[in-house]
Chains A and B, each alone.
Chain A
Amino acid sequence: MFPNNWCKWTPVALSADVPAGTVIPAWTPTGDVALWRSQSGQLSASSDRCPHRGMRLSHGFVRGEALACIYHGWSYGRDGACLRIPAHPDLQPPASINTRNQITTEREGIVWVVNEAQDEPPPSFDGYWPLRSMTFQASIAALEAAAGAKADISGLIRCTLGGETAFLLAVTKGEAETIVHVLADKNASLAQRIAISQAGEQLRRDAESADALEGAN
């Protein structure tokens, strides 16, 4: 699972799920983030709470190179600094107003976030490409049991889904919730990708009912 002793980075989303000019909610061990991509394609992870009145910034909107809050339109740059307060158009916002952004990077279609600079980049999964992200209402142990495989030392779960080899990047979010990014062979056909994706849903049902059974005992 991620992050771990060897990898401080957390995989939070697929690059394809954050096109230019959009913002989505994501989760890191440091807290919820608003993950957004500027019009020019730059990615940022701001803490998901506007410093003004606490509104979730993931409900906001991207304009140009800034993220704006949906409540009163305060906007923030890639360094987290507040750029503009629409109620006071002539005011230069104080430097202390900041969304405390984390560090982001993208590698082979996966967005990774970390809260302090790292010497090592996040891992690369040669020959594989992310297919989809899923949230399981299940523990990582239930996920491993359902997948019939354990995470290896690098944190990766290698298993068979829909008759194909797949890799799972799992992130533990609380005790009974796990975020899973599913990777498939780069050259998988559309039919194979659909099969893996459907098997991923079965995996989710299995993991969730295993946890539910455990809870009932």
Chain B
Amino acid sequence: MSDPMIDEWYPVALFSKLDAAGRDTLLMGHPIHVARTGSERVAATEADGRSLPVRIRYGHVWTSLGEPKKELFDIPEADEPGRRLVDVGVVRVRCSPLRAVENFLDIAHFPFVHTDILGAEPHTEVEKYDVEIREKEDEVWATKVKFFQPQAAKSAAGGITTDYMYRVPAPTCSVLYKTCPPRPGEWDVITLFVQPLTEELCDVWPWMALYDDEADMTDLIHFQQMIFLQDRSILENQIPRRLPLDPGMEIPTRADMTSVAYRRWLKRHNYTYGAQLVAQ
């Protein structure tokens, strides 16, 4: 495998749910085993016994089949006091890991897929926002994103215009910052960590660091799971299953600037696991 994605970090388990018996799973087509070996220790091994590098961060266990050239990306907000850290769990989706990330970066689908929750007609317009590839961090960023939402979060009672920022620090991970109704001026953090099982199958591990201190934890988890199940009904029905990286096969508009930058960034790095390169 010459794809540089082999050297990236991927989530492979929820740390809080991992015991000594561990879990068998798949990473980029390779069977691996992940198990707890101590109160703060985890081991990840390939089928032939080779041990893999491990990080425990953001509620998840991370590993890599290759030799990561960079440390796992930082989410500074994750360590801020006063936030509730929510392990949402896992949703298996029969789609490319890259399609799962692209869907997470998209707001134009809110009124149609998350109807009356994250969006509603006639409030469908996507206003111009800023997108850039930050060269120093080597990340895709979208800022000044705004969207009208009937119920933006578990803690939002009525409709409001919500501000968003999106960040792609790794090919299958995205961090979303959104206005936090109980604390104007602060941002809730919602992440999408995607484990590529194969090029057309992935486990999606959402995770949150919120300022919501009222909602019941189970309600928070159910709310987020419902959103991802709605997304799954889309992701499993896109053709082709893999993300087309060459222009021409799909038609973006201005609302898709984040997706366009994401695809360009993937292509630039030759991150092609889950991508379709030749228009068919």
Query: Taking beta carbons and an 8 Å cutoff, which residues of A are in contact with B?
Result: 48-49, 51-56, 59, 69-73, 85-89, 91, 96-97
Contacts and interface: CB of A to CB of B under 8 A. Distances in A.
A53 B125 contact: no
- Where chain A touches its partner, the secondary structure class is loop
A54 B112 contact: no
A70 B233 CA distance: 10
Contacts of A51: 250-251
A13 B106 CA distance: 35
5 contacts: A52-B250, A71-B109, A73-B121, A85-B253, A86-B111
Interface of B: 106, 108-109, 111-113, 121, 124-126, 233-234, 237-240, 244, 249-255
Contact of B112 (A48, A73, A88): A73
Tell which of A51, A69, A85, A89 has the most Cβ of chain B within 10 Å. A85
B238 A55 contact: yes
A53 B262 CA distance: 14
B41 to A, nearest CB: 42
A67 B73 CA distance: 43
A55 B241 CA distance: 10
Nearest to B234: A71
Contacts of A86: 108, 111-112, 121, 124-125
Given A54-B240, A56-B237, A88 B125 contact: yes
Contacts of B109: 71-72
A49 B279 CA distance: 14
Top 7 A-B pairs, shortest CB-CB distance:
A86-B124, A87-B255, A87-B126, A87-B108, A54-B238, A56-B237, A72-B108
B197 to A, nearest CB: 21
A59 to B, nearest CB: 6
Contacts of A52: 250-253
B20 to A, nearest CB: 43
B122 to A, nearest CB: 8
Contacts of B244: 54
